[in-house]
Structure 1
Amino acid sequence: MKQHLLLLLGCSAAVLSCTRDAPAVPDTTTTPAPTGAPVETNAPNADYRPAFAGQTRVGSVTTPASSYRSAVIASSLSSPWGVVTLPGGRLLVTEKTGRMRIVTSSGAVSEPITGLPAVNAGGQGGLLGVCLDPDFATNRMVYWSFAEARPGGNLTAIAKGRLADNERTIEGATVIYRADPAYGGTLHYGGRVVFDRTGHLVVSTGERSDLATRPQAQSVASGLGKLMRITRDGQPAPGNPVFTQAGARPELYSIGHRNPQGLAIHPVTGEVWQSEHGPRGGDELNRIQAGANYGWPTVSYGIEYGGQPIGSGIQQGTGLTQPVYYWDPVVSPSGMTFYAGNRVPEWQNNLFIGALSGTHIIRLVIDNNQVVGEERLLASEAQRFRDVTQGTDGALYAITDQGRLYRIDRP
């Protein structure tokens, strides 16, 4: 273990909202070299070697305290799960128990928005990710993910509806996609939704956690443990990759995922990036390539909660795509966004991820698709950060399981 830690340190030394993102800010910054030791100081759970230098525990970077400040602007939300910016700067927030609310920049929280289908809020289920139609300004359409009770159990479902002009209800709520098969558990729904640059929805689904369902992450005939790419009506999107195995679903975009709770579109390249929960160790950040297999549960940088290896205990395999970055021990990465603003210039095109068990916001500096610096923000707040988005004002907004909404902006 000690030898592994030294190796990782040596390798380290060597080296928006979920609508379509705000107009790209040209990447004219010079990537700062890591200025400190890795932010993670605890021993890893597994003595696994990374596949390449910089895949884990890179050097730290630090934002000067004078460059930003954070403030709690609301604290009465009930288990908020997803947040997206409305035109004009207010925020639309989902609450796990099945409610949507609108929050103003001054922290005023609306009454619950009615008209939503029932959710199964048991375990990790409930009302989950949310995003706006790229043409929301004219059609007022909202899309969301939720855990739905179905014959045989529960599944991740995607619905859409129109936010009424009076903003009190969702009109014509319709389920457009179900990631079947249903299963009797209440864990690992995935649940993020984001529009890509082509105007199609990318949806994340979990493999439902249990040993019985894990193998379905590798099955192209199953909706579990995948990224899907669908139209606004829930049909397979044109241009999807072709999986040639028998029974392959045409909506598949990538396979081999565990519990992906973060999706974001890179503001310059338009590529989909994703974060997912590992088991005991092995949280991942992935740059999604159409048709790629990300390996779960065949390979993993984590171990079982009881300490046993995952499967045969391998971390690399033929035809399996490596994560850009991984964490061991876990930080439990959830919702995320790329910073496409200029309020804090040193953050331009950096990735911000809410960490649940890590109780901080992760800032990652990425250069040429590789993580080159990591920072932990707001760790002193001791909050489980569930989602992060960028507002129309260029500030970052983050929600926590404890019910807070933070604004993070320049002083």
Structure 2
Amino acid sequence: MYKTKLLFSFFISSVILLSLAIIPYSVHLSFGAYAKAPVAPRGPTIKDDNLVVEKITDGLDFPTSMAFLGPNDILVTEKVTGKVMRVLGGQIQNEPVLDVPVANSIERGLLGIAVSKQVDGKTYVFLSYTESGNGVDGSDFTDQTDPLGNRLYRYEFVDGRLINPVLLLDLTAIPDNGRGEHNGGKILIGPDNNIYYVIGEVGGHRTQAQNIVDGPAPNGLGGILRITQDGNVVDDGSIFGKGLPLNVYYAMGIRNSFGMDFDPLTGNLWDTENGPTAGDEINLVFPGFNSGWSLIQGFSKNDFLGTGTTSDDLVYFGKGSYAEPKFDWVNPIGITALKFLNSAKLGQEYQNNMFVGDINNGLLYRFILNQARDGILINDTSLGNIKSLADYEVNDPKENQPVVFGQGFGGITDIQVGPDGYLYVLSYTGSLFRILPSSDGLAGEESQLADKTGTNDTQNDNSVPVSIVGINGYNSYSPNPVKIQKGQTVTWYNGDAISHTVTSGIDGDTDAGKMFDSDAIIPNQHYSITFDNTGDYQYYCIYHPSMVGEIMVE
């Protein structure tokens, strides 16, 4: 049988290479997913008083994924540097176990990792990353060098290093929209010992895999791909069809995903999926699953995309079929990691529950599955008002509360269960946390991260207070407008249940965020600005552009 890695190279050559339009950082503000929640000033907290959050380490550089080699032995990928760092006993080792050249604009970079111990004693480590076109990190941004591709490699872990790279999958990283988002990149070793790799539509590709009937044939993007650990096609019958790339698709119609895991009781695969302006999803993924993008996002009845289409309008191959999400958020949260806790170490009530993270708010969510484990069960009245979630949809951010398990982590990029049975949470801020029973954890301040990220030292007692009320157009900030004198300070307090921003300009402005930008203001935190010049200053929330405000400085 031919190696998948050899046959997949045709994707690069068959795509007309577009010149990559490099987007300055300020323009990134147009995309809400790229403002990430900071860690809460006093560190993360859990709603259960019997549990505590410990900081394992910080100092990582935008970590994206982690995998355990053994107890207290973790490999962590860094998005921008292309380094795989080793964390031993809570200490980041000085030298990386590997440093690969990455294109790292927007969502490109070193993205996924998985570890597989072999019966012959070898340890395989699988990495997914956007490979630099000239061997220099970030050259896609600095000098517009096209990436070589989104690639999946297999390495061997030997004497503290990753060696003997084998290229397994080679997919295009050239966007159709001039940007570098929706590369996905998470990797899993399934119960069948095969590799599952999720990749988004990579900058707006529109093929039949994105449900465009008259579009080009699928090119390996926008789905979950499955291959053997040697890079071969899984020989158990075709799901979507014969021949590459159809025979490596496990699921398609996926816009972008940063999380997936197998239910330890049923072996079913679940994933998260990011919506554009609406419809972040949790899905039960079966072989042949079509998630609906780019015609359907969120529950089809809502028609968030305004396409007026139904599941009958999607493109189906082989055994492909559509299924509605099991849960969704109308207002995107930047949904990321998903992990089942296959352990009773946090208490029997949490065993085999599903935990999900987000990047916008730094929240950790907990979901209980129904008895058949084919859907989500929301029946724990101790969590709060669950009636509003009877439709399995968060229509208003305040409906989030019953499923919020923890907060203050900063934007969450990965969740894993360690060999010790505890839950580990990775934050883009560079911190790695562990959740464990308070009886086993550190006491007092030692278990908290003393980080003031997200606050602003310009706050003072004479500042003019503005409350961030929530998503309500011109009434989202109160008072609005605010009239002050030159030299006065305005302090915004987030009284909502999710993060918001205070970003100069209006949605769509090329200058948005250049004058001031708060980044994510998490719940119960504040942001302050002193205005030294007269004039009228419009601002908005990049997560929710309908939220608008104005400062009038006399």
Q: TM-score range by the shorter chain?
A: 0.7 to 0.9
Indicate the residue corresponding to 2:191 in structure 1: 197
5+ residue gaps, structure 2, are 1-45, 134-144, 314-320, 379-401, 439-554
Indicate the residue corresponding to 1:327 in structure 2: 329
5+ residue gaps, structure 1, are 1-62
Change in Cα spacing, 1:192 to 1:220, as seen in structure 2 (3 Å) is: farther
Q: Which amino acid aligns with 2:298?
A: Y
Partners of 1:129 and 1:193 within 8 A in 2: yes
Indicate the residue corresponding to 1:389 in structure 2: 416
1:372 equivalenced with 2:377 (yes/no): yes
User: 2 CA distance for matches of 1:192 and 1:356?
Assistant: 15
Change in Cα spacing, 1:385 to 1:248, as seen in structure 2 (3 Å) is: closer
Percent of counterpart pairs with the same letter? 23
Partner deviation per Cα, 1:158-189 (whole Å, 9 max, x = no partner): 11111122x1x211122211134743531100
Give, in angstroms, the shift of residue 235 of structure 1. 2.0
Indicate the residue corresponding to 1:276 in structure 2: 273
Match of 1:343 among 341, 345, 356: 345
Match of 1:187 among 156, 169, 181: 181
Partner deviation per Cα, 1:6-27 (whole Å, 9 max, x = no partner): xxxxxxxxxxxxxxxxxxxxxx
1:177 equivalenced with 2:169 (yes/no): yes
Match of 2:221 among 208, 212, 224: 224
Please state whether the residue corresponding to 1:250 is helix, strand or coil: helix
Alignment of 1:8-87 (within 5 A): 65-87=48-70
User: 2 CA distance for matches of 1:222 and 1:311?
Assistant: 26
Give, in angstroms, the shift of residue 148 of structure 1. 2.2
1:267 equivalenced with 2:261 (yes/no): no
Match of 1:408 among 419, 428, 435: 435
Please identify the structure whose Cα radius of gyration is greater.
2
Partner deviation per Cα, 1:133-163 (whole Å, 9 max, x = no partner): 1428921210011112469655421111111
Change in Cα spacing, 1:188 to 1:223, as seen in structure 2 (3 Å) is: same
Partners of 2:241 and 2:247 within 8 A in 1: no
Query: How large is the RMSD of aligned CA atoms in angstroms?
Result: 2.7
Give, in angstroms, the shift of residue 302 of structure 1. 8.4
Indicate the residue corresponding to 2:88 in structure 1: 104
Partner deviation per Cα, 1:120-139 (whole Å, 9 max, x = no partner): 11111111111101428921
Q: Which amino acid aligns with 1:142?
A: V
Give, in angstroms, the shift of residue 114 of structure 1. 4.5
Change in Cα spacing, 1:144 to 1:181, as seen in structure 2 (3 Å) is: closer
> How many residue pairs were aligned?
341
Match of 1:360 among 359, 363, 378: 363
Partners of 1:220 and 1:248 within 8 A in 2: no
Q: Which has the higher contact order (CA 8 A, sep 6+)?
A: 1
Change in Cα spacing, 1:121 to 1:187, as seen in structure 2 (3 Å) is: same
Change in Cα spacing, 1:154 to 1:324, as seen in structure 2 (3 Å) is: farther
Please state whether the residue corresponding to 1:76 is helix, strand or coil: coil
Partners of 1:70 and 1:407 within 8 A in 2: yes
Please state whether the residue corresponding to 1:83 is helix, strand or coil: strand
TM-score by length of 1: 0.76
Please state whether the residue corresponding to 1:259 is helix, strand or coil: coil
Give, in angstroms, the shift of residue 247 of structure 1. 6.8
Change in Cα spacing, 1:265 to 1:309, as seen in structure 2 (3 Å) is: closer
User: 2 CA distance for matches of 1:215 and 1:205?
Assistant: 15
TM-score by length of 2: 0.57
User: 2 CA distance for matches of 1:244 and 1:160?
Assistant: 26
Please state whether the residue corresponding to 1:161 is helix, strand or coil: strand
Q: Which amino acid aligns with 2:61?
A: S
